[in-house]
Structure 1
Amino acid sequence: MIVETDCPFCAIVRRETPDAREVYRDGHVVAFFPLKPATLGHILVVPLDHIPDIWSLDGETAAHLARVTLRLSHVVKCAIAPEGLNIIQSNGAVATQTVPHLHTHIVPRWSRDEMGRIWPTETSYSETQKDEVWERLRHECRKVGGE
């Protein structure tokens, strides 16, 4: 197992954080409540290995993380019956990643919860800007085998 000594999530992986409210663990991931949940039932799913971000994630770990996220999303639905659910995975400080250890948020949602909107109500990108980025993305996708 790859861990970082100063990573708070690695401390939870090593079971060194007595306040961690762990809800699930297997040989690859651990899931627990964040110290300051966005809503009641908010869960973080974290690989046991210290992986800083999605660009450092291998396919096998990604597949397992996705399966557990799906399984725990069903657990949340059965346990607390939210009106909706956000699955959030952020990378880099500008994207609000505050702990440099890959993690997926499972956030149960209700119409009047404290979370608020996560998308802008409006954007002002020109059609030219959208077309330029679209072409760059399509070009890169062709390199990795997309049509």
Structure 2
Amino acid sequence: MGSVDLIASLNARGPTSGFTDVPDNDESLPDDFQREKAKLFNPLKVGAFNLRHRIVHAALGRSRSAFATESPLAAEYFRQRTTPGSLVISQATSEIVRTSVLNIRKAAENEGRDQNHIKIIASSTTIVAATDEEAFKKRGEYLSYVD
């Protein structure tokens, strides 16, 4: 069993299953598999989060939705994968990030905290080229890889 198959098999077990075509507990692990030695399955502390394993589920919601918006199907997808001890990285648009930041700062202020003491990091992709034309050409190429 390859590593991708193994991860898919392990992710399909327990309360996160039902969204894949891998039946629960239908496949056994290889006889020589030593879970305690597989770093991927070791717990990890990330800030305040205690993760049960190091498998991070990428955000896939918008790519599965009409008009690149969240849908009930996407919500179900994430609900099934956010069992305790799991980490899902969600994608965002600039509008969603702005609204979220404003809401977080307002909630902090409502609790008596200085909203300027809240540090929020939002990532983005920077495309660098010698000219704007070349940068837009690269952007077009990058977008060609997106469904």
TM-score (norm 2): 0.27
Name the structure, 1 or 2, with higher relative contact order (CA <8 Å, separation 6+).
1
Q: State which structure, 1 or 2, has the greater radius of gyration over its C-alpha atoms.
A: 2
Would you tell me which structure has more helix in proportion to its own residues?
A: 2
TM-score (norm 1): 0.27
Would you tell me which structure has more strand in proportion to its own residues?
A: 1
